[in-house]
């Protein structure tokens, strides 16, 4: 028994070699596309004056959450600037945003498929379990094998790592829609597609947004680890700090990660539950509009 060994690693290596030889055009296309997206968004975030970015982020916080969120955003973003971590933070933010968007584009349709097809759900759930139990560092190995060193393998690994909660929460949200509501739509002659768009997705939106929140948080966590394979940003600074035992750099980069994580968490949480934030600019405008309509009706 001691001499029995299943060469899984060799089989996987052979499969990877075959893919690199026969599907190289696909990896080249993905590399070009991801490089283009990262370069464009990074250039926008880095080239714009920091004050413009800070005011824009503060406005988003005020619109979706509260004026306190806006003030906190201004203070914390200025804090990042004073630590000389602004460029690295914008590089990380660009990576996270692109990875999260790609992950959501993939995860939501897969979650819908799993919710509407039991056979698909039976296949997808074990795959998600496998993906979520896999150590995050392991995702870097195939990414580097196919895409080399740089930002692209980091982005690919981040997308794959962040996918599972988006799929799970989408399926959970759609399955959680009251069956009587769905049956009411069917009784009026609505097609499955109309029920999905007009009933299930709107009612499942808070749950789906909770999944998107988790996608973004996982994307940020993996974006930091992606610094190990050459992705620019705060992760690269963290890796450099570990390699050189540079405590100040590690602390500053770590605080930058925390600030971005808190901001993204608060904003995405407000997107899914806007009614829970009465002090947001949107809520204030709605109240004013309702008062004006009431006054006009009374007149």
pLDDT in tens, 94-126: 999 999 999 999 999 999 999 989 999 999 999
Q: What is the average pLDDT value for the chain, to the nearest integer?
A: 88
The span from the first CA to the last CA of the chain, in angstroms, equals 91
Per residue in 136-174, pLDDT tens?
888 888 898 888 888 999 999 999 999 999 999 999 999
Average pLDDT over residues 252-264: 93
- Among 90, 236, 220, CA closest to 161: 220
pLDDT tops 70 at residue 278: no
Find all residues with CB under 8 Å of 168, minimum gap 6, and list them: 111, 128, 211
User: Alpha-carbon Rg of the chain, whole angstroms?
Assistant: 23
Per residue in 21-46, pLDDT tens?
888 889 899 999 999 999 999 999 99
- CATH architecture of the domain formed by 11-47+83-275: Orthogonal Bundle (1.10)
Instruction: Encode 148-167: b = buried (16+ Cβ within 10 Å), e = exposed.
Output: eebbbbbbbbbbbbbbbbbb
pLDDT tops 60 at residue 1: no
Give the count of beta carbons closer than 10 Å to the beta carbon of residue 213: 23
Question: How confident is the model at residue 276, as a pLDDT?
Answer: 63
pTM for the whole structure: 0.88
Question: How confident is the model at residue 64, as a pLDDT?
Answer: 85
């Amino acid at each position: 028994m001691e001499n029995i060994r299943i060469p899984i690693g060799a089989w996987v290596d052979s499969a990877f070699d075959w893919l690199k030889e026969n599907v190289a055009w696909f990896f080249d296309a993905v590399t070009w596309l991801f490089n283009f997206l990262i370069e464009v968004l990074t250039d926008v975030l880095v080239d714009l004056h920091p004050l413009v970015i800070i005011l824009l982020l503060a406005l988003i916080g005020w619109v979706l959450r509260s004026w306190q969120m806006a003030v906190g955003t201004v203070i914390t973003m200025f804090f990042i600037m004073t630590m000389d971590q602004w460029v690295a933070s914008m590089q990380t933010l660009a990576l996270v945003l692109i990875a999260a968007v790609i992950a959501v584009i993939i995860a939501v349709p897969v979650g819908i498929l799993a919710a509407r097809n039991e056979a698909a759900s039976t296949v997808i759930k074990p795959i998600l379990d496998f993906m979520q139990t896999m150590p995050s560092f392991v995702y870097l190995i195939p990414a580097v094998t196919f895409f080399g060193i740089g930002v692209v393998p980091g982005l690919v690994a981040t997308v794959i790592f962040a996918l599972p909660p988006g799929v799970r929460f989408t399926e959970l949200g759609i399955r959680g829609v009251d069956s009587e509501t769905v049956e009411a739509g069917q009784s009026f002659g609505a097609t499955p597609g109309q029920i999905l768009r007009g009933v299930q997705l709107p009612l499942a939106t808070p749950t789906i947004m909770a999944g998107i929140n988790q996608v973004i948080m996982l994307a940020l966590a993996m974006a930091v680890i992606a610094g190990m394979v050459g992705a620019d940003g705060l992760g690269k600074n963290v890796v450099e700090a570990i390699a050189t035992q540079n405590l100040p750099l590690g602390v500053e980069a770590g605080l930058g990660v925390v600030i971005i994580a808190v901001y993204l968490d608060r904003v995405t949480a407000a997107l899914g539950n806007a009614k829970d934030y009465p002090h947001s600019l949107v809520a204030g405008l709605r109240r004013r509009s309702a008062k004006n309509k009431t006054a006009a009706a009374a007149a």
